Structure 1
Amino acid sequence: MRDERVRLGLSQEDLALAGGVNRNTQGSYERGARNPDTAYLMAVAGLGIDISFVLTGQKQISDLSGVEAQIIDQYRNIPEDDQKMIRRMLEAMAVMESRSHD
């Protein structure tokens, strides 16, 4: 939820207001301490929140930007060993990024 809020440049207060909850409840959704109900999800979807991503943690292929689609196309057209190297590099970068937020 936080990733989507940040992607859209919204504050916790903005999202809480749109979803009909208070800021503390919004924070608990973002921490994973509570799960939002359907009414909340439908309300925040109107702001552009990707509900599928919020629920699954995965972006849908149709949601890719042109650059992201190009990267995937290029990835699919390189040798398997190169694909493995790119996956290792991305995994290492993701670990480093998650540690920088702790």
Structure 2
Amino acid sequence: MNSDEQLRRFGERLREMRILMAANQQDFAALGGVKKNSQVTYETGKTAPTVEYLYRLAGHGVDIGYILTGRREDGSQGDEERLLIDLFAKLDTRERDAIMTMLASLTGKAADAERPVERPSRTLHAPRPAFRGEGDN
């Protein structure tokens, strides 16, 4: 993940925490000792905040570890990751394999370090219907 992507995700988690605290951007910015326009640039991932800003938020009970890493203080994942895990758990083995293959393809990484990424031997769609002359003997 490149630094632009990391900063964007940081901004998303920062915004999520602000909303969970039922604060508008101006009030949340004040907790961190900055102006609203700085808060906006942090949340949009355009700039990174200062350590002082993060310390001030932590002093108001904001889970800075979650904002920085996506992991909560108790070690749990964020809402988006929990939802993904819950949905994945509802899939059958074939569907899980398909999702893992897709994710491996999107990230450019092997789904399993032990085995290379391979195309599924079966497709997820129904077999193609027979056309004129096919299968007729």
Provide the TM-score with structure 1 as the length reference: 0.58
Moved more, 34-43 or 44-53: 44-53
| Per-residue deviation, 1:63 | 4.8
Q: Give the secondary-structure state (helix, strand or coil) at the position aligned to 2:52.
A: helix
- Counterpart among 6, 9, 19 of residue 32 in structure 2: 19
Matched ranges for 1:35-46 at <5 A: 35-46=48-59
Gaps of 5+ in 1: 88-102
For residue 91 of structure 1, what is the aligned residue in structure 2? none
Using the aligned pairs only, state the percent identity.
32
CA RMSD of aligned residues (A): 3.2
- Counterpart among 35, 60, 65 of residue 47 in structure 1: 60
Instruction: For 1:48 and 1:81, locate their aligned partners in 2 and report how far apart those are by CA, in whole Å.
Output: 43
Specify which structure has the bigger relative contact order, considering alpha-carbon pairs within 8 angstroms and separated by 6 or more residues.
1
| Per-residue deviation, 1:15 | 1.2
For residue 43 of structure 2, what is the aligned residue in structure 1? 30
Provide the TM-score with structure 2 as the length reference: 0.45
Which residue identity does 1:20 align to in structure 2?
G
Question: Which structure has more helix as a fraction of its residues?
Answer: 1
Q: How many residues of Structure 1 are paired with residues of Structure 2 in the alignment?
A: 81
Instruction: For 2:53 and 2:47, locate their aligned partners in 1 and report how far apart those are by CA, in whole Å.
Output: 12
* Alignment CA distance shift 1:81-1:49 (3 Å): farther
Contact 1:8 1:48 in 2 (8 A): no
Gaps of 5+ in 2: 1-13, 101-137
Instruction: For 1:20 and 1:28, locate their aligned partners in 2 and report how far apart those are by CA, in whole Å.
Output: 14
Misfit runs of 4+, over 6 Å: 82-85
Matched ranges for 1:1-102 at <5 A: 1-56=14-69, 58-60=70-72, 61-63=74-76
* Alignment CA distance shift 1:21-1:62 (3 Å): same
